[in-house]
Amino acid sequence: MKSELAAKVERTIRKFHMAVKGERLLVGLSGGADSAALLLCLNELGYDVSACHVNHCIRGEEADRDQHFCERLCEGLGIGITVRRVDVPAYCRANPVSEEEGARLLRYNALQEISADKICTAHNLDDCLETTLFNLARGSGLKGIASIPPVRGNIIRPLIECSREEIEAYLAERGQNFVTDSTNLLDEYSRNKLRHKVVPVLKEINPVLMETFAKTLGYIRQDSAYMEKLADKAFEDCIIGDGFSRTAVRKLDYPIRRRVIMRILAKNEIEISQDKIELIEQLIIEGGKASVKANSFAYTKSDVLYIYSEKDMPDQSADEIGIVPDTVIDWQNRRVCFKIIEIDGKFENVNKKFANSCLDYDKIKGVIVLRKRRAGDKLRLVGRDFNSDVRVLMKQNFPAHKRDSAVILADDDGVVLAEGSGAADRVKIDSNTRHVLVFEDS
């Protein structure tokens, strides 16, 4: 007969579509009550389970004690275990992170290195309450208040709806001991302060706190998931080429607009903060240009918001490269392929397929080159009786940080093609054309 905790875990797994029988589940096993209970429950439910213990090399003999406990536990259950030792203090000295954060990063890295279909962590309902309180105290939106997600990628949390009280009662029933991390008893860490000082007061106010919190958390997660789904769709609708439609973003209701801006920041690897959200919103509404992080800028051109960094800017070293048909040229952080297409005078199909990207190769004067735009460059486009300024054409068709990488072709008599605008009238394709020069990104 299934234990109450195992039955609850099984319902949670089904509810959040966490795993199916036959998948290989890897439990992050610390030796504490939560992870020990998780291992026992999954084993009881018949899942293909193995364990990984990460020794953080922080607590000396106590850390070694935890490792040996985990090894003995798995041996007794007939479950395979992998042990990884990571030097958290050394990592934190080399990287600007706290010991707590460093341990978390290295622990997840170690777990991901082991072959498994799903990684199971032992976060429980009490952890969710502490996380919600911590995020509220620090300042958070709905997603932060929704706390720890039951599923994130290949990481699942089968104990997410179980309280610590239920977990310890289960272990007591099984006669299963566990180890206690001494750092969990210290009030030096923010979460421990919440656990030892704030949560007990809340339970005095509401004796069934965990039960009511579980219901509230369920509603919050559903609302948050719905808002995120709307924001995903809105974000896709706002993308225009390399930028984002200011009008489309402005039309969104603020809760969705804020989430779309957060996605814009994330897409460009910019730290998400309220200041950055407000900065991008101001640019969307008023236009302009602003620095968004070191060597990165956001600016508007007409109705489009662009974000670029110096690494996106074209290499300024090469100003001109000779064109050799049927070769690929590295040009200003692009790879451009030029080809010669032979036709038999039926040029209508060619125009349709290669609009604004082709010309009559036999009409070229002298040598044809790929180069940057130059002051005074003019181009008489096909079907026009006046010359256009190439600089103006580039401004109309490309954001500022893309203009130097645009394809401009010139022969001995001047510019013959400007990407996005078309070819010069003097090299246009006609019924006598036999060789067409075309280009495309490779």
Dihedral of CA atoms 184, 190, 193, 198 in degrees, nearest 10, equals -130
In sequence order, which ranges of 239-332 are alpha helices (DSSP H)?
Answer: 246-250, 254-267, 274-286
* Model pLDDT, residue 226: 97
What is the SS3 assignment for 21? coil
Q: Provide the 8-state DSSP code for 157.
A: -
Residue among 350, 268, 332 nearest 305 (CA): 268
Phi and psi, residue 423, nearest 5°: -95, 165
C-alpha angle with apex 114: 110 to 117, nearest 5 degrees?
Answer: 120
The model carries a pTM of 0.71
The pLDDT averaged over each successive group of 10 residues in the chain (442 residues) is 93 97 96 97 97 90 92 97 93 89 93 96 97 92 94 97 97 95 64 91 97 96 96 96 93 97 94 93 91 86 83 57 78 83 64 62 86 88 88 86 86 89 88 85 76
Give the pLDDT confidence score for residue 183 in this predicted structure.
66
Edge-first strand order for the sheet with 296-301 is 239-240, 243-245, 304-309, 296-301, 289-293
Residues 25, 427: Cα–Cα separation, whole Å: 65
Residue type, 138: R
Q: Output the pLDDT for position 316.
A: 44
Query: 204 CB contacts (<8 Å, ≥6 apart)?
Result: none
H-helix segments, 96-177: 99-112, 125-138, 142-145, 164-174
Domains and CATH numbers, the chain: 4-219 (3.40.50.620), 241-312 (1.20.59.20), 320-441 (no CATH)
Amino acid at 267: K
Q: In the 8-state DSSP scheme, what is residue 195?
A: I
The reported pLDDT for the residue numbered 348 is 55
Q: What is the largest CA-CA distance in the chain?
A: 93
Q: Sheet harboring 422-423: ordered strands across?
A: 320-322, 369-371, 408-411, 414-418, 422-423
How much is the pLDDT for 353?
45
pLDDT at position 35, please?
97
Strands (E) across 263-387 are located at 289-293, 296-301, 304-309, 320-322, 327-331, 334-342, 358-360, 369-371, 378-379
Look at residue 175 in the predicted model and tell me its pLDDT.
96
Distance CA(152)–CA(157), nearest Å, equals 9
Q: What pLDDT is attached to residue 356?
A: 56
What residues does 155 pair with on adjacent strands? 119, 152
**Under DSSP, is residue 280 helix (H, G, I), strand (E, B) or coil?**
helix
Report the Cα 374 to chain-centroid distance in Å: 39
